[in-house]
Structure 1
Amino acid sequence: METRRTRATPLAPEERRAAIVAATRPLLIEHGSAVTTRLIAEAAGIAEGTIFRVFADKRELFHAVAEASVNPPGAQEQMARELAALPDLPSKLRHVIDRLAARLQESLLVLMAVRSALLNEPHQPASGPPTFLLEANKALVDNLTDLLFTPHAEELRLPPRKAALVLRSLTVGTWMPGLNRGQQPLSTDDVIDILLSGILRKDDH
């Protein structure tokens, strides 16, 4: 017996766009840039033509997935809610580091899968990373500064923004594929210890 495809539930264009992006992300991680619009449509529960009513082409869709992966919508509000429920700086650091590590690993898989699309980004600077990566990095440092470190400024030796830059550098350097090949990467505990205690021995006197 033939199964008839039901029509997709009507959604506003931005909602439909977000739903297609969400359905495409795991497919890109699994199949890379070879993923087809047919697979995407099946995962999103829509007809293939619906994709091209909200995206000009597959390259534009892949670009949107990459952007949403490195700078998810609502990330600032979500971080604020989650940190407000935690009692002190060490527990907040642990939560943020674990979340950043997971997001970074997923984002890098997506970025590698859509590399060719990103290289052809029309507004990409003549050299350097795509504009949306620069914007995502600024948003991350701003959020770490304002939401994580500024409420604990009196506990810090460094200004909150410098602390945010150190945390960003440690997490990116720790979980960037290829940088730690054959070596034991820093753990969450290691990153917290370095941030809060530094690398020098303390003088007992």
Structure 2
Amino acid sequence: MGTTTSGRAAPLAPEDRREALTRVFIALAREHGRVPTTSEIARAAGVAEGTIFRVFPSKDALQSAAVESAFCPAPARRDFLAIDRSQPMRERLVDFATTLQQRVRDVLDLMRALGLSQPPPLERHSACLGAGKHLRSEPAESCEPLHHDHFEDVLDLVDPDDVTVTPHQLLHRIRLLSFSGSHPGISHGELLTPEEVVDTVLYGVASGRARKANDPHHA
């Protein structure tokens, strides 16, 4: 954010200041693994501590806004749509898995920092502050949690003639493996790379010889 010659942040509209402070809160929480103090937030944002309470009634209100912003999936959806469709299918899907895994890691890091046992419920009317100004005019459902019913806009990542399941089913399997392969507790520390996730779903792990030996239709 811009600063004045005094080192303080340049004046912002209240809505923009709220967004800037939520971003600082999230960054500090992830960096330090705990809830930041208001003095830490103010120092990192380049504002006086009292500025926080001119746009938020309390620190709890700032934390609630930051959590709502951090867990909003709209930025991930934007990244899905930005994937280069001219790439081969495997590379498109690796980009898809990379975005999914980054979101899982970001969410888990913030949950640990804030002491949350599960993601908070997102309201359909969420403002999605962390998604950027250009998303404020999007439909309210853009802030609903990611699940396989929300992949209609990215089904073109899959070449349907090259797989034996529907594009919907393929993306759903990549989503499931991306989550479990990115969660330290589920994976017992043996995390999967996006390439491993995609190759496991697309090609499996059996060798060509094993596939032939176990294929009852192989002549």
* TM-score, reference length from structure 2: 0.70
For 1:122, the equivalent position in structure 2 comes to: none
For 1:202, the equivalent position in structure 2 comes to: 211
Report how far residue 109 of structure 1 moved: 1.1
For 2:52, the equivalent position in structure 1 comes to: 51
SS of 2:177's equivalent in the other structure is: helix
SS of 1:113's equivalent in the other structure is: helix
Structure 1 residue runs of 5 or longer lacking an equivalent are 120-127
Report how far residue 81 of structure 1 moved: 2.1
Report how far residue 17 of structure 1 moved: 1.8
Report how far residue 148 of structure 1 moved: 4.7
SS of 2:122's equivalent in the other structure is: helix
Change (3 A) 1:70 1:92: farther
CA distance in 2, matches of 1:100, 1:81: 14
Residue 37 in structure 1 maps to residue 38 in structure 2: yes
Report how far residue 152 of structure 1 moved: 2.8
For 1:166, the equivalent position in structure 2 comes to: 173
Report how far residue 87 of structure 1 moved: 1.3
> What fraction of aligned residue pairs are identical, expressed as a percent?
30
Change (3 A) 1:202 1:129: same
CA distance in 1, matches of 2:84, 2:151: 11
Give 4+ residue runs of structure 1 displaced > 6 Å after superposition: none
SS of 2:145's equivalent in the other structure is: helix
Aligned residues: 188
Change (3 A) 1:8 1:187: closer
CA distance in 1, matches of 2:94, 2:172: 16
Change (3 A) 1:53 1:19: same
Structure with a larger share of its residues in helix: 1
Report how far residue 27 of structure 1 moved: 0.9
CA distance in 1, matches of 2:183, 2:190: 13
Structure 2 residue runs of 5 or longer lacking an equivalent are 124-142, 213-217
